[in-house]
Amino acid sequence: MEKTMLYKLSGWFKKFRKYIVRYKNGSFHLSSLNNSPVTVIESFDKMPFCKHDKAKKKLSADTIFFKAFFYYCNPEEDLWMFVSGLNFKQNVLMKNLYEKEIPVEYHFINLHFKNKNIASKSTINGLVVKNNTWSMFKAGHSISEYHFKNSEEKNITIYFTDRWLEKQKASNPLYGNSKLTNFFDSKNNYILLDEEDRAYESIYEDLIILAKKESGENWIKGAKKHIDEILTCFINKINTETIEKNHFHLSDKDRKNVQQIEKYISDHLFGDFPGIEKIAAKVGVSPTKAKSDFKSIHNKTLLQYFSSQQMQIANQLLLENKQTVKEVANLLGYENASKFSAAFKKQFGYNPSSVLLNEN
């Protein structure tokens, strides 16, 4: 980093030192400078009770707010990765600040895993985040993250610039032919995507083992391999799940309405489908908009989503071996066990009775 940049960075921390930690409305507000990976590292380094092992490229802290660590590496020019773990002891609002005099060039993709159910109420920029979520932000648009007391979180964060992305597009068709381009061409500044596959946690564990065991070139080489894997997974995900371009153009208000629809459906899974008109009325939008916006996010109709969520509950109930197939069918509002079994098989590819047989 140039001397002028270091001077500006030093001046920022001196000016905003009193704002790094504040308490307001029942939560601690912790601020960091998010212009680049370097400014993030420097922000944590300036926090009270933070230890920075530059040889191992590791930051750790054990404060009244949280116990946390993160490893970092810079395997290529304009490319960084953080691997972090946090255990929140208090309600914490993480505020990302940006200094106008320091360049803001880094976009980032984050894959986060929440270990406790209460963490499902965490928010990013005011939108509720589920336990396992991909998020991607254009440079300068990650504003805030809210975390509840006793929540635990693991993260893999990859930072990159436009320069780095253009190089990938020139050398790898996956980048140039993906819906990533649709996102960067849109006015929307971020993406949030649910992730149901728990296999990604093994990548996280591999990275932690690698960071602890290796250093220098071995750490960088291993990290780069996993970065390529994660980015490939993310691009494939948005290509297959984010079908409609409209997904990238929904406003925050529209996305919050979709989350309200999700919650309403989740609260009414035991019984018949409530109906599109009733769902839309509860959220305060037209049935047409409810259907369109919901499909833009989930690539499913409201009825398909409702049925899918019902079958997830059914599978769990059968795995617990506490109800018969007929009892589960009745709980979910099916007229008879045969119709329920047909819906179950359509989703999972096998009959619900086979779940009970496998458990016995």
14-57, pLDDT tens digit by residue? 555 555 667 676 778 788 888 999 999 988 887 778 899 998 89
pLDDT value of position 118: 43
Fold of 252-359: Arc Repressor Mutant, subunit A (1.10.10)
pLDDT value of position 117: 47
**Cα–Cα distance, 93 to 295 (Å, whole number):** 31
Q: How many residues are present in the chain?
A: 360
56 and 122 in contact (C-beta within 8 Å)?
Answer: no
pLDDT along the chain (360 residues), means of 10: 51 56 73 88 82 92 90 95 92 84 91 61 56 86 80 92 95 88 84 79 91 84 92 89 63 81 86 91 92 85 90 84 84 89 89 71
Domain boundaries, the chain: 3-249, 252-359
C-alpha dist (Å) from residue 28 to 21, 32, 87, 343 = 7, 13, 14, 47
pLDDT value of position 315: 86
137 and 40 in contact (C-beta within 8 Å)?
Answer: no
pLDDT value of position 242: 56
pLDDT value of position 360: 47
Q: Which residue has the tokens 């932000």?
A: 137
- Secondary structure (DSSP) of 253-275: HHHHHHHHHHHHHHTT-SSS---
pTM metric for this prediction: 0.70
Amino acid identity, residue 62? D
92-136, pLDDT tens digit by residue? 888 888 888 888 999 999 998 876 544 345 655 555 556 688 889
